[in-house]
Structure 1
Protein backbone atom coordinates (compact mmCIF):
# COMPACT_ATOMS: atom_id res chain seq x y z
CA UNK A 1 0.00 0.00 0.00
CA UNK A 2 1.23 3.50 -0.89
CA UNK A 3 0.52 6.32 1.57
CA UNK A 4 0.06 9.69 -0.15
CA UNK A 5 0.07 12.90 1.87
CA UNK A 6 -2.05 15.57 0.18
CA UNK A 7 -2.07 18.91 1.97
CA UNK A 8 -4.43 20.85 -0.31
CA UNK A 9 -7.11 18.81 -2.05
CA UNK A 10 -9.45 21.10 -3.94
CA UNK A 11 -12.89 21.01 -5.49
CA UNK A 12 -12.78 22.23 -9.09
CA UNK A 13 -15.84 23.52 -10.92
CA UNK A 14 -15.25 24.17 -14.62
CA UNK A 15 -17.69 26.06 -16.83
CA UNK A 16 -17.67 25.46 -20.58
CA UNK A 17 -18.30 28.93 -22.04
CA UNK A 18 -17.07 31.59 -24.43
CA UNK A 19 -14.30 33.94 -23.19
CA UNK A 20 -15.45 36.01 -20.22
CA UNK A 21 -16.63 39.54 -20.99
CA UNK A 22 -16.31 41.78 -17.96
CA UNK A 23 -19.21 44.01 -16.96
CA UNK A 24 -21.94 41.91 -18.57
CA UNK A 25 -23.83 38.66 -18.13
CA UNK A 26 -21.90 35.60 -19.36
CA UNK A 27 -23.72 32.36 -20.10
CA UNK A 28 -22.16 28.94 -19.71
CA UNK A 29 -23.01 25.85 -21.77
CA UNK A 30 -21.95 23.05 -19.43
CA UNK A 31 -20.57 22.62 -15.91
CA UNK A 32 -18.13 19.95 -14.68
CA UNK A 33 -17.28 19.26 -11.04
CA UNK A 34 -14.21 17.27 -10.02
CA UNK A 35 -11.46 17.08 -7.42
CA UNK A 36 -7.82 17.84 -8.14
CA UNK A 37 -4.36 17.99 -6.57
CA UNK A 38 -1.05 16.17 -7.06
CA UNK A 39 -2.01 13.62 -4.40
CA UNK A 40 -5.41 12.92 -5.95
CA UNK A 41 -3.73 12.45 -9.34
CA UNK A 42 -1.29 9.98 -7.73
CA UNK A 43 -4.13 8.01 -6.13
CA UNK A 44 -5.95 7.80 -9.49
CA UNK A 45 -2.84 6.58 -11.30
CA UNK A 46 -2.10 3.97 -8.63
CA UNK A 47 -5.68 2.73 -8.79
CA UNK A 48 -5.33 2.46 -12.57
CA UNK A 49 -2.24 0.25 -12.08
CA UNK A 50 -3.93 -1.95 -9.46
CA UNK A 51 -1.94 -0.51 -6.57
CA UNK A 52 -3.88 0.28 -3.42
CA UNK A 53 -3.47 3.95 -2.45
CA UNK A 54 -4.10 5.52 0.93
CA UNK A 55 -4.74 9.26 0.59
CA UNK A 56 -4.15 11.19 3.81
CA UNK A 57 -5.69 14.65 3.48
CA UNK A 58 -7.08 17.50 5.58
CA UNK A 59 -10.78 18.05 4.93
CA UNK A 60 -12.82 21.01 6.14
CA UNK A 61 -16.28 22.51 5.79
CA UNK A 62 -18.92 22.00 3.10
CA UNK A 63 -16.36 22.02 0.29
CA UNK A 64 -14.44 19.32 2.12
CA UNK A 65 -17.53 17.14 2.33
CA UNK A 66 -17.97 17.38 -1.45
CA UNK A 67 -14.31 16.41 -1.94
CA UNK A 68 -14.78 13.47 0.40
CA UNK A 69 -17.87 12.26 -1.46
CA UNK A 70 -16.09 12.20 -4.85
CA UNK A 71 -12.91 10.60 -3.46
CA UNK A 72 -14.86 7.87 -1.67
CA UNK A 73 -16.97 7.16 -4.79
CA UNK A 74 -13.75 6.65 -6.81
CA UNK A 75 -12.19 4.41 -4.17
CA UNK A 76 -9.13 6.64 -3.73
CA UNK A 77 -8.50 5.38 -0.20
CA UNK A 78 -9.19 8.74 1.43
CA UNK A 79 -8.32 8.98 5.12
CA UNK A 80 -9.58 12.42 6.03
CA UNK A 81 -8.63 14.52 9.03
CA UNK A 82 -11.17 17.17 10.01
CA UNK A 83 -9.61 20.64 9.81
CA UNK A 84 -11.06 23.93 10.96
CA UNK A 85 -10.54 25.76 7.64
CA UNK A 86 -12.76 25.26 4.63
CA UNK A 87 -11.12 23.08 1.97
CA UNK A 88 -9.90 24.78 -1.20
CA UNK A 89 -12.26 25.56 -4.05
CA UNK A 90 -11.34 26.50 -7.60
CA UNK A 91 -13.65 27.84 -10.30
CA UNK A 92 -12.54 27.86 -13.95
CA UNK A 93 -14.45 30.00 -16.43
CA UNK A 94 -13.83 28.65 -19.94
CA UNK A 95 -11.89 25.63 -21.22
CA UNK A 96 -9.02 27.24 -23.12
CA UNK A 97 -7.03 29.88 -21.24
CA UNK A 98 -9.73 29.97 -18.50
CA UNK A 99 -10.24 32.68 -15.91
CA UNK A 100 -9.39 30.90 -12.63
CA UNK A 101 -10.77 31.85 -9.22
CA UNK A 102 -9.41 30.21 -6.06
CA UNK A 103 -10.20 30.33 -2.38
CA UNK A 104 -7.38 30.69 0.15
CA UNK A 105 -5.24 27.57 0.76
CA UNK A 106 -6.10 25.54 3.83
CA UNK A 107 -4.15 26.53 6.95
CA UNK A 108 -3.32 24.04 9.66
CA UNK A 109 -2.85 24.65 13.36
CA UNK A 110 -0.10 22.72 15.13
CA UNK A 111 -2.75 20.68 16.94
CA UNK A 112 -4.31 19.71 13.61
CA UNK A 113 -0.94 18.70 12.21
CA UNK A 114 -0.22 16.65 15.32
CA UNK A 115 -3.46 14.74 14.72
CA UNK A 116 -2.47 14.26 11.10
CA UNK A 117 0.94 12.90 12.05
CA UNK A 118 -0.50 10.55 14.66
CA UNK A 119 -2.70 9.00 11.97
CA UNK A 120 0.43 7.71 10.20
CA UNK A 121 1.10 5.17 12.94
CA UNK A 122 -2.32 3.56 12.38
CA UNK A 123 -1.18 2.18 9.02
CA UNK A 124 2.38 1.18 9.91
CA UNK A 125 1.93 -2.49 9.01
CA UNK A 126 0.14 -1.87 5.70
CA UNK A 127 2.19 0.92 4.13
CA UNK A 128 5.10 0.01 1.84
CA UNK A 129 6.11 3.55 0.86
CA UNK A 130 5.19 7.17 1.52
CA UNK A 131 4.72 9.85 -1.14
CA UNK A 132 5.21 13.60 -0.55
CA UNK A 133 4.45 15.86 -3.51
CA UNK A 134 4.91 19.61 -3.89
CA UNK A 135 2.68 21.95 -1.92
CA UNK A 136 2.60 25.55 -0.75
CA UNK A 137 5.62 26.99 1.04
CA UNK A 138 3.83 26.74 4.39
CA UNK A 139 3.03 23.07 3.82
CA UNK A 140 6.50 22.16 2.53
CA UNK A 141 7.97 23.58 5.74
CA UNK A 142 6.34 20.59 7.48
CA UNK A 143 7.87 18.01 5.12
CA UNK A 144 11.20 17.56 6.98
CA UNK A 145 9.22 16.49 10.04
CA UNK A 146 7.13 14.10 7.95
CA UNK A 147 10.28 12.58 6.45
CA UNK A 148 11.69 12.13 9.93
CA UNK A 149 8.48 10.41 11.00
CA UNK A 150 8.68 8.14 7.96
CA UNK A 151 12.06 6.90 9.20
CA UNK A 152 10.55 6.18 12.64
CA UNK A 153 7.83 4.12 10.95
CA UNK A 154 10.25 2.46 8.48
CA UNK A 155 8.49 3.96 5.43
CA UNK A 156 10.68 4.60 2.36
CA UNK A 157 9.69 8.15 1.42
CA UNK A 158 9.59 9.61 -2.11
CA UNK A 159 9.75 13.41 -2.20
CA UNK A 160 9.21 16.11 -4.82
CA UNK A 161 9.15 19.78 -3.81
CA UNK A 162 8.12 23.04 -5.42
CA UNK A 163 10.54 25.06 -3.29
CA UNK A 164 14.05 24.66 -1.89
CA UNK A 165 15.28 21.16 -1.07
CA UNK A 166 17.81 22.05 1.67
CA UNK A 167 15.78 21.14 4.77
CA UNK A 168 14.39 17.92 3.29
CA UNK A 169 17.85 16.72 2.20
CA UNK A 170 18.97 16.95 5.85
CA UNK A 171 16.34 14.33 6.76
CA UNK A 172 17.69 11.83 4.18
CA UNK A 173 14.62 10.78 2.16
CA UNK A 174 14.74 7.42 0.37
CA UNK A 175 14.27 9.09 -3.03
CA UNK A 176 14.33 12.78 -3.92
CA UNK A 177 13.23 14.17 -7.29
CA UNK A 178 14.45 17.66 -8.13
CA UNK A 179 15.10 20.01 -11.03
CA UNK A 180 18.51 21.24 -12.14
CA UNK A 181 17.57 24.67 -10.75
CA UNK A 182 16.87 23.19 -7.31
CA UNK A 183 20.13 21.23 -7.45
CA UNK A 184 22.07 24.37 -8.38
CA UNK A 185 20.43 26.24 -5.49
CA UNK A 186 21.39 23.45 -3.07
CA UNK A 187 24.96 22.88 -4.26
CA UNK A 188 25.99 26.34 -5.38
CA UNK A 189 27.31 24.72 -8.58
CA UNK A 190 26.28 25.24 -12.19
CA UNK A 191 24.50 22.23 -13.74
CA UNK A 192 24.62 22.91 -17.48
CA UNK A 193 26.28 19.61 -18.41
CA UNK A 194 25.90 16.02 -17.20
CA UNK A 195 29.26 15.93 -15.40
CA UNK A 196 28.29 19.11 -13.51
CA UNK A 197 24.92 17.59 -12.56
CA UNK A 198 26.68 14.48 -11.25
CA UNK A 199 29.18 16.56 -9.25
CA UNK A 200 26.34 18.52 -7.62
CA UNK A 201 24.26 15.37 -7.11
CA UNK A 202 27.12 13.74 -5.19
CA UNK A 203 26.65 16.43 -2.53
CA UNK A 204 23.02 15.37 -2.06
CA UNK A 205 23.95 11.68 -1.79
CA UNK A 206 26.75 12.54 0.66
CA UNK A 207 24.10 14.15 2.89
CA UNK A 208 22.34 10.77 3.16
CA UNK A 209 19.72 10.78 0.39
CA UNK A 210 19.60 7.24 -1.01
CA UNK A 211 18.38 7.93 -4.56
CA UNK A 212 18.31 11.20 -6.53
CA UNK A 213 16.47 11.88 -9.82
CA UNK A 214 17.42 15.11 -11.60
CA UNK A 215 15.28 16.33 -14.48
CA UNK A 216 12.94 19.14 -15.38
CA UNK A 217 13.67 20.05 -19.00
CA UNK A 218 15.12 18.59 -22.18
CA UNK A 219 15.57 15.02 -23.36
CA UNK A 220 18.10 13.93 -20.72
CA UNK A 221 17.62 13.12 -17.05
CA UNK A 222 19.93 11.50 -14.52
CA UNK A 223 19.35 9.12 -11.63
CA UNK A 224 22.04 8.65 -8.96
CA UNK A 225 22.45 6.05 -6.23
CA UNK A 226 25.45 4.79 -4.24
CA UNK A 227 28.47 5.30 -6.56
CA UNK A 228 26.57 4.90 -9.82
CA UNK A 229 24.53 7.10 -12.10
CA UNK A 230 22.14 6.30 -14.94
CA UNK A 231 21.63 8.66 -17.87
CA UNK A 232 18.07 8.39 -19.18
CA UNK A 233 17.96 9.60 -22.76
CA UNK A 234 14.91 10.22 -24.93
CA UNK A 235 14.69 10.61 -28.69
CA UNK A 236 11.54 12.74 -28.70
CA UNK A 237 10.24 13.29 -25.15
CA UNK A 238 11.11 16.73 -23.81
CA UNK A 239 8.49 17.20 -21.08
CA UNK A 240 9.69 16.16 -17.63
CA UNK A 241 6.84 16.61 -15.19
CA UNK A 242 8.60 15.92 -11.89
CA UNK A 243 5.37 15.32 -9.99
CA UNK A 244 4.59 12.44 -12.34
CA UNK A 245 8.19 11.18 -12.25
CA UNK A 246 7.93 10.93 -8.45
CA UNK A 247 4.59 9.13 -8.70
CA UNK A 248 6.24 6.73 -11.15
CA UNK A 249 9.21 5.98 -8.88
CA UNK A 250 6.88 5.31 -5.94
CA UNK A 251 4.56 3.10 -7.99
CA UNK A 252 7.47 1.14 -9.47
CA UNK A 253 8.87 0.53 -5.98
CA UNK A 254 5.49 -0.80 -4.89
CA UNK A 255 5.42 -3.11 -7.93
CA UNK A 256 9.04 -4.23 -7.27
CA UNK A 257 10.23 -3.36 -10.76
CA UNK A 258 13.94 -3.70 -11.48
CA UNK A 259 15.91 -0.46 -11.79
CA UNK A 260 15.82 -0.15 -15.59
CA UNK A 261 12.07 -0.76 -15.68
CA UNK A 262 11.60 1.68 -12.78
CA UNK A 263 13.48 4.49 -14.51
CA UNK A 264 11.75 3.97 -17.85
CA UNK A 265 8.32 3.81 -16.20
CA UNK A 266 8.91 6.96 -14.13
CA UNK A 267 10.48 8.96 -16.96
CA UNK A 268 7.77 7.96 -19.46
CA UNK A 269 5.09 8.93 -16.94
CA UNK A 270 6.83 12.28 -16.58
CA UNK A 271 6.31 12.93 -20.29
CA UNK A 272 2.62 13.56 -19.54
CA UNK A 273 1.33 16.80 -17.99
CA UNK A 274 0.09 16.58 -14.40
CA UNK A 275 -1.95 19.77 -14.90
CA UNK A 276 -4.11 18.29 -17.66
CA UNK A 277 -4.42 14.53 -17.06
CA UNK A 278 -6.32 12.50 -14.50
CA UNK A 279 -5.85 9.17 -16.27
CA UNK A 280 -2.90 7.71 -18.16
CA UNK A 281 -3.36 5.91 -21.48
CA UNK A 282 -1.42 2.70 -20.80
CA UNK A 283 -0.72 1.97 -24.47
CA UNK A 284 0.65 5.49 -24.86
CA UNK A 285 2.76 5.03 -21.71
CA UNK A 286 4.30 1.80 -23.04
CA UNK A 287 5.07 3.49 -26.35
CA UNK A 288 6.83 6.33 -24.55
CA UNK A 289 8.87 3.82 -22.53
CA UNK A 290 10.19 2.38 -25.82
CA UNK A 291 11.54 5.84 -26.68
CA UNK A 292 13.96 5.73 -23.74
CA UNK A 293 17.49 4.38 -23.44
CA UNK A 294 19.53 4.06 -20.24
CA UNK A 295 23.29 4.09 -19.80
CA UNK A 296 25.06 3.36 -16.50
CA UNK A 297 28.22 5.07 -15.28
CA UNK A 298 30.33 5.18 -12.11
CA UNK A 299 31.75 7.98 -9.99
CA UNK A 300 34.10 8.14 -7.01
Structure 2
Protein backbone atom coordinates (compact mmCIF):
# COMPACT_ATOMS: atom_id res chain seq x y z
CA UNK A 1 0.00 0.00 0.00
CA UNK A 2 1.09 3.60 -0.70
CA UNK A 3 0.66 6.10 2.15
CA UNK A 4 0.22 9.79 1.27
CA UNK A 5 0.92 12.47 3.89
CA UNK A 6 -0.79 15.88 3.77
CA UNK A 7 0.04 17.97 6.81
CA UNK A 8 -2.10 20.99 5.89
CA UNK A 9 -5.15 19.80 3.89
CA UNK A 10 -7.95 22.10 2.80
CA UNK A 11 -11.32 22.36 1.17
CA UNK A 12 -10.65 23.85 -2.24
CA UNK A 13 -13.50 26.09 -3.34
CA UNK A 14 -13.76 27.37 -6.91
CA UNK A 15 -16.04 30.28 -7.85
CA UNK A 16 -16.66 31.01 -11.52
CA UNK A 17 -17.49 34.73 -12.01
CA UNK A 18 -17.66 36.73 -15.21
CA UNK A 19 -17.20 39.56 -14.54
CA UNK A 20 -15.65 39.70 -11.06
CA UNK A 21 -16.81 43.00 -9.53
CA UNK A 22 -14.52 44.68 -7.01
CA UNK A 23 -16.17 46.45 -4.04
CA UNK A 24 -19.57 45.11 -5.06
CA UNK A 25 -21.79 42.07 -4.62
CA UNK A 26 -20.88 38.99 -6.68
CA UNK A 27 -23.47 36.21 -6.94
CA UNK A 28 -22.08 32.80 -7.78
CA UNK A 29 -24.01 30.14 -9.69
CA UNK A 30 -21.15 27.74 -10.36
CA UNK A 31 -19.36 26.46 -7.24
CA UNK A 32 -16.96 23.52 -6.96
CA UNK A 33 -15.76 22.12 -3.62
CA UNK A 34 -13.16 19.36 -3.31
CA UNK A 35 -10.94 17.86 -0.63
CA UNK A 36 -7.69 19.67 -1.36
CA UNK A 37 -4.02 19.61 -0.50
CA UNK A 38 -1.21 18.21 -2.62
CA UNK A 39 -1.10 14.86 -0.86
CA UNK A 40 -4.83 14.34 -1.30
CA UNK A 41 -4.44 14.93 -5.03
CA UNK A 42 -1.71 12.28 -5.01
CA UNK A 43 -3.97 9.83 -3.18
CA UNK A 44 -6.87 10.51 -5.53
CA UNK A 45 -4.84 9.78 -8.66
CA UNK A 46 -3.28 6.65 -7.16
CA UNK A 47 -6.80 5.42 -6.38
CA UNK A 48 -7.96 6.21 -9.92
CA UNK A 49 -5.05 4.11 -11.19
CA UNK A 50 -6.52 1.22 -9.17
CA UNK A 51 -3.62 1.06 -6.70
CA UNK A 52 -4.17 0.63 -2.98
CA UNK A 53 -3.61 3.90 -1.11
CA UNK A 54 -4.27 5.44 2.29
CA UNK A 55 -4.28 9.18 3.10
CA UNK A 56 -3.02 10.58 6.38
CA UNK A 57 -1.98 13.88 7.96
CA UNK A 58 -3.53 16.30 10.43
CA UNK A 59 -6.92 18.00 10.12
CA UNK A 60 -9.81 19.18 12.23
CA UNK A 61 -13.01 21.12 12.75
CA UNK A 62 -15.97 21.23 10.39
CA UNK A 63 -13.62 21.67 7.42
CA UNK A 64 -11.75 18.52 8.43
CA UNK A 65 -15.04 16.65 8.74
CA UNK A 66 -15.98 17.74 5.22
CA UNK A 67 -12.62 16.54 3.88
CA UNK A 68 -13.07 13.18 5.59
CA UNK A 69 -16.60 12.81 4.23
CA UNK A 70 -15.43 13.66 0.70
CA UNK A 71 -12.60 11.13 0.80
CA UNK A 72 -15.00 8.47 2.06
CA UNK A 73 -17.36 9.19 -0.84
CA UNK A 74 -14.40 8.71 -3.21
CA UNK A 75 -13.56 5.36 -1.56
CA UNK A 76 -10.13 6.58 -0.46
CA UNK A 77 -8.91 4.99 2.77
CA UNK A 78 -7.89 7.50 5.40
CA UNK A 79 -6.40 7.66 8.88
CA UNK A 80 -5.81 11.28 9.95
CA UNK A 81 -4.87 12.72 13.30
CA UNK A 82 -8.02 14.68 14.12
CA UNK A 83 -7.64 17.88 16.16
CA UNK A 84 -10.13 20.47 17.42
CA UNK A 85 -8.58 23.34 15.47
CA UNK A 86 -10.17 24.22 12.15
CA UNK A 87 -8.55 23.15 8.89
CA UNK A 88 -8.41 25.66 6.07
CA UNK A 89 -10.38 26.73 3.03
CA UNK A 90 -8.61 27.74 -0.19
CA UNK A 91 -10.67 29.82 -2.61
CA UNK A 92 -10.03 30.24 -6.33
CA UNK A 93 -12.01 32.89 -8.23
CA UNK A 94 -12.11 32.20 -11.96
CA UNK A 95 -12.80 35.40 -13.88
CA UNK A 96 -12.07 36.89 -17.31
CA UNK A 97 -9.65 34.01 -18.08
CA UNK A 98 -7.79 34.78 -14.84
CA UNK A 99 -7.54 32.91 -11.55
CA UNK A 100 -7.37 34.87 -8.29
CA UNK A 101 -6.62 32.76 -5.20
CA UNK A 102 -7.43 33.46 -1.56
CA UNK A 103 -5.62 30.95 0.63
CA UNK A 104 -6.10 30.50 4.36
CA UNK A 105 -2.95 29.52 6.27
CA UNK A 106 -4.64 26.81 8.32
CA UNK A 107 -4.30 25.96 12.03
CA UNK A 108 -1.25 26.69 14.16
CA UNK A 109 -0.16 23.38 15.65
CA UNK A 110 1.44 22.67 19.01
CA UNK A 111 4.59 20.58 19.28
CA UNK A 112 2.50 17.99 21.13
CA UNK A 113 0.24 17.63 18.08
CA UNK A 114 3.26 17.08 15.87
CA UNK A 115 4.48 14.43 18.30
CA UNK A 116 1.10 12.69 18.25
CA UNK A 117 1.24 12.44 14.47
CA UNK A 118 4.70 10.88 14.67
CA UNK A 119 3.22 8.15 16.88
CA UNK A 120 0.36 7.61 14.42
CA UNK A 121 2.78 7.43 11.51
CA UNK A 122 4.92 4.87 13.30
CA UNK A 123 1.91 2.54 13.46
CA UNK A 124 0.84 3.20 9.88
CA UNK A 125 4.31 2.38 8.53
CA UNK A 126 3.89 -1.23 9.58
CA UNK A 127 1.39 -1.71 6.76
CA UNK A 128 2.75 0.33 3.81
CA UNK A 129 5.55 -0.10 1.28
CA UNK A 130 6.12 3.50 0.18
CA UNK A 131 5.29 6.99 1.49
CA UNK A 132 4.71 10.31 -0.27
CA UNK A 133 5.00 13.63 1.59
CA UNK A 134 3.50 16.57 -0.27
CA UNK A 135 2.97 20.26 0.32
CA UNK A 136 3.68 22.81 3.02
CA UNK A 137 3.86 22.40 6.77
CA UNK A 138 1.22 24.02 8.98
CA UNK A 139 2.24 26.89 11.22
CA UNK A 140 3.75 25.86 14.54
CA UNK A 141 5.83 22.98 13.18
CA UNK A 142 9.55 23.43 12.55
CA UNK A 143 10.86 23.47 8.95
CA UNK A 144 12.81 20.42 10.12
CA UNK A 145 9.64 18.45 10.90
CA UNK A 146 9.75 16.51 7.63
CA UNK A 147 13.23 15.35 8.69
CA UNK A 148 11.58 13.62 11.64
CA UNK A 149 9.06 11.90 9.37
CA UNK A 150 11.76 10.71 6.97
CA UNK A 151 14.00 9.50 9.81
CA UNK A 152 11.10 7.47 11.18
CA UNK A 153 10.40 6.00 7.74
CA UNK A 154 14.08 5.14 7.35
CA UNK A 155 14.04 3.23 10.64
CA UNK A 156 11.03 1.27 9.36
CA UNK A 157 12.76 0.74 5.98
CA UNK A 158 9.97 2.53 4.07
CA UNK A 159 11.18 4.80 1.21
CA UNK A 160 9.88 8.38 0.96
CA UNK A 161 8.99 10.53 -2.04
CA UNK A 162 9.08 14.22 -1.10
CA UNK A 163 7.39 17.14 -2.87
CA UNK A 164 7.80 20.41 -1.00
CA UNK A 165 9.68 23.67 -1.55
CA UNK A 166 11.56 26.59 -0.03
CA UNK A 167 13.28 26.35 3.32
CA UNK A 168 11.43 23.16 4.21
CA UNK A 169 12.86 21.34 1.18
CA UNK A 170 16.40 22.59 1.79
CA UNK A 171 16.30 21.75 5.51
CA UNK A 172 14.92 18.28 4.79
CA UNK A 173 17.42 17.17 2.17
CA UNK A 174 20.32 18.53 4.25
CA UNK A 175 19.58 15.90 6.89
CA UNK A 176 21.41 12.58 7.15
CA UNK A 177 18.15 10.70 6.47
CA UNK A 178 17.36 11.26 2.80
CA UNK A 179 14.15 10.88 0.79
CA UNK A 180 14.35 8.39 -2.05
CA UNK A 181 12.99 10.99 -4.49
CA UNK A 182 12.42 14.74 -4.75
CA UNK A 183 10.59 16.60 -7.51
CA UNK A 184 11.57 20.30 -7.74
CA UNK A 185 10.66 22.54 -10.66
CA UNK A 186 13.27 24.77 -12.36
CA UNK A 187 12.75 27.64 -9.91
CA UNK A 188 12.94 25.39 -6.86
CA UNK A 189 16.07 23.73 -8.24
CA UNK A 190 17.71 27.12 -8.70
CA UNK A 191 16.79 28.13 -5.16
CA UNK A 192 18.39 24.97 -3.75
CA UNK A 193 21.79 25.65 -5.35
CA UNK A 194 21.54 29.47 -5.52
CA UNK A 195 21.84 29.60 -9.32
CA UNK A 196 19.53 30.51 -12.16
CA UNK A 197 18.53 27.41 -14.11
CA UNK A 198 17.72 26.99 -17.79
CA UNK A 199 16.39 23.78 -19.29
CA UNK A 200 19.49 23.02 -21.37
CA UNK A 201 20.89 19.55 -20.84
CA UNK A 202 24.36 20.72 -19.77
CA UNK A 203 22.99 23.22 -17.24
CA UNK A 204 20.64 20.66 -15.73
CA UNK A 205 23.30 17.96 -15.53
CA UNK A 206 25.65 20.33 -13.73
CA UNK A 207 22.89 21.50 -11.37
CA UNK A 208 21.86 17.97 -10.43
CA UNK A 209 25.50 17.03 -9.81
CA UNK A 210 25.58 19.50 -6.90
CA UNK A 211 26.59 17.92 -3.61
CA UNK A 212 23.25 18.81 -2.02
CA UNK A 213 21.69 15.96 -4.02
CA UNK A 214 24.22 13.34 -2.91
CA UNK A 215 22.52 10.17 -1.64
CA UNK A 216 19.13 11.15 -3.10
CA UNK A 217 18.53 8.39 -5.61
CA UNK A 218 15.95 10.15 -7.80
CA UNK A 219 15.79 13.87 -8.59
CA UNK A 220 13.03 14.71 -11.07
CA UNK A 221 12.92 18.30 -12.39
CA UNK A 222 9.56 19.39 -13.80
CA UNK A 223 9.87 21.44 -17.01
CA UNK A 224 6.19 22.07 -17.78
CA UNK A 225 5.34 21.61 -21.45
CA UNK A 226 8.99 20.65 -22.07
CA UNK A 227 8.55 17.50 -20.00
CA UNK A 228 11.15 16.78 -17.34
CA UNK A 229 14.80 16.09 -16.64
CA UNK A 230 15.87 13.41 -14.21
CA UNK A 231 18.91 12.14 -12.36
CA UNK A 232 18.83 8.52 -11.23
CA UNK A 233 21.93 7.54 -9.28
CA UNK A 234 24.73 8.69 -11.64
CA UNK A 235 22.69 8.72 -14.86
CA UNK A 236 20.66 11.51 -16.47
CA UNK A 237 17.45 11.34 -18.50
CA UNK A 238 15.45 13.81 -20.56
CA UNK A 239 11.73 13.12 -20.79
CA UNK A 240 9.69 14.65 -23.61
CA UNK A 241 5.91 14.70 -23.82
CA UNK A 242 3.45 15.28 -26.68
CA UNK A 243 1.52 18.49 -27.12
CA UNK A 244 -1.84 18.28 -25.38
CA UNK A 245 -4.87 20.46 -24.81
CA UNK A 246 -4.51 21.83 -21.30
CA UNK A 247 -7.78 22.24 -19.40
CA UNK A 248 -6.40 22.75 -15.88
CA UNK A 249 -2.68 22.51 -15.00
CA UNK A 250 -3.29 22.73 -11.23
CA UNK A 251 -2.40 19.45 -9.56
CA UNK A 252 -0.39 18.05 -12.46
CA UNK A 253 2.72 17.84 -10.26
CA UNK A 254 0.73 15.88 -7.70
CA UNK A 255 -0.55 13.53 -10.41
CA UNK A 256 3.05 13.08 -11.56
CA UNK A 257 4.05 12.18 -8.00
CA UNK A 258 1.25 9.60 -7.93
CA UNK A 259 2.55 7.97 -11.09
CA UNK A 260 6.13 7.93 -9.81
CA UNK A 261 4.99 6.33 -6.55
CA UNK A 262 3.12 3.63 -8.45
CA UNK A 263 6.13 2.93 -10.67
CA UNK A 264 8.45 2.59 -7.70
CA UNK A 265 6.00 0.44 -5.73
CA UNK A 266 5.68 -1.88 -8.72
CA UNK A 267 9.51 -1.96 -9.07
CA UNK A 268 9.39 -0.77 -12.67
CA UNK A 269 12.53 0.32 -14.51
CA UNK A 270 13.64 3.95 -14.32
CA UNK A 271 12.37 4.54 -17.87
CA UNK A 272 8.97 3.01 -17.13
CA UNK A 273 8.67 4.90 -13.84
CA UNK A 274 9.43 8.23 -15.51
CA UNK A 275 6.96 7.53 -18.31
CA UNK A 276 4.29 6.55 -15.81
CA UNK A 277 4.74 9.75 -13.80
CA UNK A 278 4.69 12.01 -16.83
CA UNK A 279 1.59 10.29 -18.21
CA UNK A 280 -0.48 10.70 -15.06
CA UNK A 281 0.68 14.32 -14.87
CA UNK A 282 -0.47 14.96 -18.44
CA UNK A 283 -3.81 13.28 -17.90
CA UNK A 284 -4.52 15.58 -14.95
CA UNK A 285 -3.99 18.71 -17.07
CA UNK A 286 -6.57 17.42 -19.54
CA UNK A 287 -9.33 17.39 -16.91
CA UNK A 288 -11.22 20.37 -15.46
CA UNK A 289 -11.12 18.99 -11.91
CA UNK A 290 -7.86 19.08 -9.96
CA UNK A 291 -6.39 15.70 -9.02
CA UNK A 292 -8.43 13.72 -11.54
CA UNK A 293 -7.44 11.60 -14.52
CA UNK A 294 -9.26 9.51 -17.09
CA UNK A 295 -7.45 6.17 -16.96
CA UNK A 296 -8.99 5.17 -20.28
CA UNK A 297 -6.52 7.56 -21.96
CA UNK A 298 -3.48 6.19 -20.15
CA UNK A 299 -2.11 3.72 -22.71
CA UNK A 300 -2.45 6.19 -25.58
CA UNK A 301 -0.46 8.95 -23.90
CA UNK A 302 2.00 6.60 -22.18
CA UNK A 303 3.13 5.46 -25.62
CA UNK A 304 3.83 9.08 -26.62
CA UNK A 305 6.19 9.86 -23.73
CA UNK A 306 9.87 9.44 -24.65
CA UNK A 307 12.73 8.91 -22.20
CA UNK A 308 16.28 9.41 -23.46
CA UNK A 309 19.44 8.72 -21.47
CA UNK A 310 21.77 11.68 -21.97
CA UNK A 311 25.05 10.66 -20.29
Quickly name the TM-score band, shorter chain normalised: 0.7 to 0.9
Matches within 5 A, 1:120-159: 120-136=121-137, 138=139, 141=143, 142-159=145-162
TM-fit CA distance, 1:87: 0.9
How many Å separate the matches in 2 of 1:99 and 1:234? 29
Moved more, 114-123 or 192-201: 192-201
8 Å Cα contact 2:42/2:257 also seen in 1: no
Give the match for residue 261 of structure 1.
272
How many Å separate the matches in 2 of 1:230 and 1:126? 33
C-alpha RMSD of the superposition: 2.9
TM-fit CA distance, 1:247: 2.1
Pairs aligned (count):
298
Moved more, 29-38 or 91-100: 91-100
TM-fit CA distance, 1:205: 7.1
Moved more, 242-251 or 153-162: 242-251
Residues 23/190 of structure 1: CA separation in 2 closer, same or farther (3 Å cut): closer
8 Å Cα contact 2:2/2:52 also seen in 1: yes
How many Å separate the matches in 1 of 2:188 and 2:309? 23
TM-fit CA distance, 1:183: 2.4
TM-fit CA distance, 1:130: 0.6
Give the match for residue 201 of structure 2.
194
The equivalent position to 2:302 in structure 1, one of 285, 289, 295, is 289
Give the match for residue 236 of structure 1.
243
How many Å separate the matches in 2 of 1:260 and 1:208? 20
Q: What is the SS of the residue equivalent to 2:306?
A: strand
TM-fit CA distance, 1:98: 5.8
How many Å separate the matches in 2 of 1:29 and 1:183? 41
Moved more, 160-169 or 95-104: 95-104
Residues 100/296 of structure 1: CA separation in 2 closer, same or farther (3 Å cut): closer
TM-fit CA distance, 1:85: 1.9
8 Å Cα contact 1:7/1:58 also seen in 2: yes
Scaled by the length of structure 1, the TM-score of the pair is 0.86
Residues 275/137 of structure 1: CA separation in 2 closer, same or farther (3 Å cut): farther
**1:100-119 deviation per Cα after TM superposition (whole angstroms, max 9, x unaligned):** 54444222111001001111
Moved more, 199-208 or 70-79: 199-208
8 Å Cα contact 1:81/1:116 also seen in 2: yes
**1:56-112 deviation per Cα after TM superposition (whole angstroms, max 9, x unaligned):** 121211222222222222222111212242011234556764665444422211100
How many Å separate the matches in 2 of 1:190 and 1:91? 32
8 Å Cα contact 1:172/1:207 also seen in 2: no
Give the match for residue 217 of structure 1.
224
Scaled by the length of structure 2, the TM-score of the pair is 0.83
Q: What is the SS of the residue equivalent to 1:154?
A: coil
1:37 aligns with 2:37: yes
TM-fit CA distance, 1:17: 5.2
TM-fit CA distance, 1:286: 2.9
How many Å separate the matches in 2 of 1:291 and 1:150? 35
Alignment gaps of 5+ in structure 1: none
Give the match for residue 203 of structure 1.
210
8 Å Cα contact 2:237/2:310 also seen in 1: yes
How many Å separate the matches in 1 of 2:190 and 2:291? 31
Q: What is the SS of the residue equivalent to 2:183?
A: strand
Residues 24/233 of structure 1: CA separation in 2 closer, same or farther (3 Å cut): closer
TM-fit CA distance, 1:275: 8.8
The equivalent position to 1:162 in structure 2, one of 158, 162, 165, is 165
1:252 aligns with 2:266: no
TM-fit CA distance, 1:197: 1.3
1:173 aligns with 2:179: yes
How many Å separate the matches in 2 of 1:263 and 1:65? 35
